Structure 1
Amino acid sequence: MQKPAECTTILVGKDATIDGSTMIARSEDGGSTIIPEAFITVNPEDQPKHYQSVISKQKIDDEDLLPNPMRYTSAPDASGKHGVWAAAGINEATVAMTATETITTNSRIQGIDPLLEEGGLGEEDFVTLTLPYIKSAREGVKRLGYLVEKYGTYEMNGSAFADHDEVWYIETIGGHHWAARRIPDDAYVAAPNRLNIDFFDFKDEENFMCSSDLLDLIEKYHLNPDYQGYNLRHIFGSSTIKDAHYNNPRAWYIHRYFDPEWEGTPADQDQPFITYAKKKISPEDIKFLESSHYQDTPYDVYSTTNTDAEKKLFRPIGINRNFETHILQIRNDVPEGLAGVQWLAFGPNTFNVFVPFYTNVTTTPASFQTGPKFDLSKIFWVNKLNAQLGDTNYKVYSALEQAFEEKTMAKLRKIENETDEAAKNLTGKDLQEKLEEANQKMADLTYKASVDLTGEMVETGHGLMKLKYDLLD
């Protein structure tokens, strides 16, 4: 069983962020079945020495599982039933990876290099086979590209890498091809479930990479519909009615948030891949967008002034199928040992908060090590419960959530600031223990605040229940 085509990716270069960090973010969404997500550290002794995919049964040659793997954080599926699905993490070389954004394709490339029907790698495998072995974002692109060329893939996917200086986005093309682009330092990217890379310069090897025969393939099979240049979305992607309703509106809303004068419509098929904000971007901006449902537009499902048809017209970013969302931040204003931060939230983003976990650690808080069964000692299930309660009367409960999120985020920021100062001269085990202590403190604070939110929602909703009777009624 594979996950449906979900997720929304946001990438930000270091000159476009509020603090000079690089940030790569993605919501990991699923389908109608709840998919519990966890947060763990994979230490070198835990990295597999032999590997076989669960879904495709693809075996990896042992020589491709390089010796001396690095420690890395991971946000895997809690059950492990369909494989690891590590999703996102930062390794001990302070390199970040998120995988994957399911993307679109067309029959022209599928008729030349079809997706594999047997074997191959996919979202289940990419982080586990890539992140522990790379020391830069550029290396990440090359290694993932190598794996796709050697073993092939059964799905179209986009992945992103970041280090202190660079952000890269790579997309698989057909069964064995790929292309990647470096995000300019002063730019951001909004990438929904479509093939996203547009302009591509095959001569600029500093900012563009691809499988060696990609240009020859385009020319040989007459794949380019444009008179001039190369637009990979036009060549390999789609431009369908589904894109107009499912994908493009999400990018439109993000662009509209970062630039109020943004022109275009939600269904616009040619929104650019590389874009520039009118202000510097913070983690709080990304949290709002990953939680958004077209607020202040006619398409908000929670609005009381629009029609049912308008509410159902476009797929929102924040949705009941958000199961895990992250911002992988590589900071440039702190010592190296403090640089990696994995902002993490479980459950639907309309009723949760992002926690800025340090990644230079060997273990993670127990409340974030989710199990597959409903368990209110785990933050995943508390957040899921709050979102389902909140959805019953958003107008009432959203005010409680907003206060919860602002107060909790401020307290988490305070812990982070205090830890940065206290740990700036620490190294080695002393540093890791300090960061693990801070992570535990943030997890405990978040869990308590989330349970308190549950209590406030129950108390507020008590008088709103329809099943009631009073002599004064």
Structure 2
Amino acid sequence: MTVTKQELSACTSILIGKKASIDGSTIIGRNEDAKSAWPKHLVIHPRTKIPNHTFTSNDTGLKLNLPEVAYKYSATPEWTDKFGLFEEDGINEYGVAMSATESAYANQRVLGADPFVTGGISEEAMVTVVLPYVKTARQGILRLGQIIQEHGTSEANGILFADQDEVWYMEVGSGHYWVAQRIPDDAYAVVANQLAIQEIDFEDPDNFLFAPGIQEFVAQNHLNPHPNGFNFRQIFGTQTLSDEIYSTPRVWYGQKMFNPEISQDPMSEELPFIRKASRLLDLKDATDFLSSHYQGTEYDPVGQGSSTQKHKFRPISLAKTQEAHVLQIRPNLPPAIAGIQWLAMGVAAQSVFVPIYPGASDVHPAYKIGQEEYQPDSAYWIYKHVGVLADAHYHEFMPLVKEVQEKLNIYYRYEVHASDIQALKLEGQDLTNFLTEKNITWQAKGIEAYQQLSHKLITLATDKSPLNFKTDANL
């Protein structure tokens, strides 16, 4: 089996404040996009206590001393740790959600003053060395920021954090400098492989965090192209034709979904980072965004536009999505129940977001297996298989996929609501056992539905051969 080097994740992200959501949830989500055949697993790490605990990155060689106690947390690691863990997303026992990372680009001017550090922290390690050691979203930013200040980072990234009260977006723009902005409670943000944060208010610690000395660094190295203000995107980021083709159209489409009344250019470099939606946003709005590919526009790769239009922009949901996740922290519930990790294995547009209680202790066995080569009993490959079958006859087969998706979405909505009521009556090991049983039941339901769908699509595909011919039934 050939194992090739993991590529940077070229992802798309969404963040929704608690007053912008229909039920008061905080919501963060992201498509993890890297390779079209690169399985992900799902794990729930138990709380551990390890004296003299250390971490060494298989990616950059970074070595860290870790706190003795690691809190329980969920994660979606790679099928192989050869290039690092890439745990990517999860929720810990204190109800902190983290998604890392949204890969980005920094400009040459900034990197000439503070280049990336080859042996610094990278995407593959961030969830592993941060999420098990923090009790709030704000603590997550400060912990990761401290690591970056001390050890540097090897790449530009955006990192999503949320807890029951706050949603934060953190961006790393050079080897040692970063900023973070709290998403206003009544607002949302969508991000697509660009440094996105704009004006920083250094006198507002409730809504902005930043690396010590960043103002002095920018001033001493003459990095700010504007005489007034501190626009992080314009100081640290890039504004190129590549951005206008690859990144800004995805932001444009997300804002078009949630603010259809606003007319904008998909190639504009001036799209705002923060917006207030024209309505309250639901969990489904987040999953629909992560599953989208410019539907209803001439830019949809499977739509009605010209060949040039259909392939002009990079879509949000695409074949290189390894998994998509929405991390929902709901109000007025204890941490073991409040967090739901909605996980879609493979391509979001062709998969289904299955709910997981991180307060459980285990997951379905199919989520623990799957290698680079197709494996029929792996959850990743079961969902990926349906996508491959549907791709071959997209317009005929996708309605069948959508029918299964809709039925499962309704089932999961009902089940989460009913399970919350039962879970509130339990505590301790009884609660953990109940949540674990629900996880495995829900995951099994999705797996079974997609296996049956695969059987149906394979059967239908037998009559789609180019060697077919209409034969006389009497012969």
1:59 is aligned to 2:63: yes
Amino acid at match of 1:236: F
Question: Post-superposition shift, 1:470?
Answer: 4.2
User: Counterpart of 1:124?
Assistant: 124
Question: Post-superposition shift, 1:10?
Answer: 0.3
Question: Post-superposition shift, 1:463?
Answer: 2.5
Partner SS state of residue 285, structure 2: helix
Partner SS state of residue 292, structure 2: coil
Partner SS state of residue 164, structure 1: coil
Moved more, 203-212 or 460-469: 460-469
- Segments of structure 2 that go 5 or more residues without pairing to the other structure are none
Moved more, 453-462 or 8-17: 453-462
Q: 1:17 aligns with which of 15, 21, 33?
A: 21
Moved more, 225-234 or 71-80: 225-234
Q: Which runs of 4+ in 1 moved over 6 A?
A: none
Q: Deviations over 1:318-363 (max 9, x none)?
A: 1000111111111104343310110001101121100111110121
Q: Deviations over 1:220-242 (max 9, x none)?
A: 12211124322111110000011
User: Counterpart of 1:186?
Assistant: 186
User: Counterpart of 1:107?
Assistant: 108
> 2:106 & 2:466 partners in 1: Cα distance?
48
Question: Is the contact made by 1:5 and 1:103 (CA closer than 8 Å) also made in structure 2?
Answer: no
Question: Post-superposition shift, 1:5?
Answer: 4.6
1:199-238 correspondence runs (5 A)? 199-238=199-238
Partner SS state of residue 99, structure 2: strand
> 2:335 & 2:174 partners in 1: Cα distance?
38
Q: How many residues align?
A: 467
Partner SS state of residue 403, structure 2: helix
Question: Post-superposition shift, 1:2?
Answer: 4.2
1:279-298 correspondence runs (5 A)? 279-298=279-298
Amino acid at match of 1:104: Y
> 2:389 & 2:467 partners in 1: Cα distance?
16
Question: Post-superposition shift, 1:394?
Answer: 1.5
Moved more, 222-231 or 132-141: 222-231
User: Counterpart of 1:329?
Assistant: 328
> 1:119 & 1:2 partners in 2: Cα distance?
17
> 1:278 & 1:333 partners in 2: Cα distance?
25
> 2:325 & 2:231 partners in 1: Cα distance?
29
User: Counterpart of 2:253?
Assistant: 253
Question: Is the contact made by 2:327 and 2:339 (CA closer than 8 Å) also made in structure 1?
Answer: yes
Q: Deviations over 1:431-463 (max 9, x none)?
A: 110111111110111001111211222233333
User: Counterpart of 2:434?
Assistant: 434
User: Counterpart of 1:49?
Assistant: 53
Amino acid at match of 2:383: N
Amino acid at match of 1:342: Q
> 2:219 & 2:471 partners in 1: Cα distance?
81
Question: Is the contact made by 1:4 and 1:31 (CA closer than 8 Å) also made in structure 2?
Answer: no
Query: How high is the TM-score relative to the length of structure 1?
Result: 0.96
User: Counterpart of 1:365?
Assistant: 364
Partner SS state of residue 219, structure 1: helix
User: Counterpart of 1:339?
Assistant: 338
> 1:465 & 1:383 partners in 2: Cα distance?
24
> 1:4 & 1:194 partners in 2: Cα distance?
14
User: Counterpart of 1:98?
Assistant: 99
Moved more, 462-471 or 288-297: 462-471
1:345-360 correspondence runs (5 A)? 345-360=344-359
> 1:5 & 1:415 partners in 2: Cα distance?
32
Partner SS state of residue 249, structure 1: helix
> 1:307 & 1:227 partners in 2: Cα distance?
44
Q: Deviations over 1:124-172 (max 9, x none)?
A: 1101100010000000010000001111111101101111100111111
> 1:49 & 1:366 partners in 2: Cα distance?
28
User: Counterpart of 1:28?
Assistant: 32
Question: Is the contact made by 2:48 and 2:69 (CA closer than 8 Å) also made in structure 1?
Answer: no
Moved more, 218-227 or 50-59: 218-227
- Segments of structure 1 that go 5 or more residues without pairing to the other structure are none
User: Counterpart of 2:138?
Assistant: 138
Partner SS state of residue 205, structure 1: coil
1:39 is aligned to 2:38: no
Amino acid at match of 1:211: A
User: Counterpart of 1:80?
Assistant: 81
Identity of aligned residues (%): 36
User: Counterpart of 1:382?
Assistant: 382
User: Counterpart of 1:457?
Assistant: 457
Q: Deviations over 1:176-221 (max 9, x none)?
A: 1111111100010101001111121111111101111001111112
> 1:470 & 1:131 partners in 2: Cα distance?
60
Amino acid at match of 2:375: D
Q: Deviations over 1:396-423 (max 9, x none)?
A: 1111111111101111122212211111
Partner SS state of residue 389, structure 1: helix
* Counterparts in 2 of 1:456 and 1:424: CA distance versus 1, 3 Å: same
> 1:399 & 1:7 partners in 2: Cα distance?
26
Q: Deviations over 1:79-112 (max 9, x none)?
A: 1221111100111111111100001110111010
> 1:389 & 1:154 partners in 2: Cα distance?
38
> 2:160 & 2:356 partners in 1: Cα distance?
20
> 1:53 & 1:422 partners in 2: Cα distance?
41
Question: Is the contact made by 2:9 and 2:32 (CA closer than 8 Å) also made in structure 1?
Answer: no
Partner SS state of residue 124, structure 2: coil
Question: Post-superposition shift, 1:46?
Answer: 8.8
1:156 is aligned to 2:156: yes
Question: Is the contact made by 1:8 and 1:290 (CA closer than 8 Å) also made in structure 2?
Answer: yes
Question: Is the contact made by 1:187 and 1:276 (CA closer than 8 Å) also made in structure 2?
Answer: yes
> 2:334 & 2:55 partners in 1: Cα distance?
35
Amino acid at match of 1:291: S
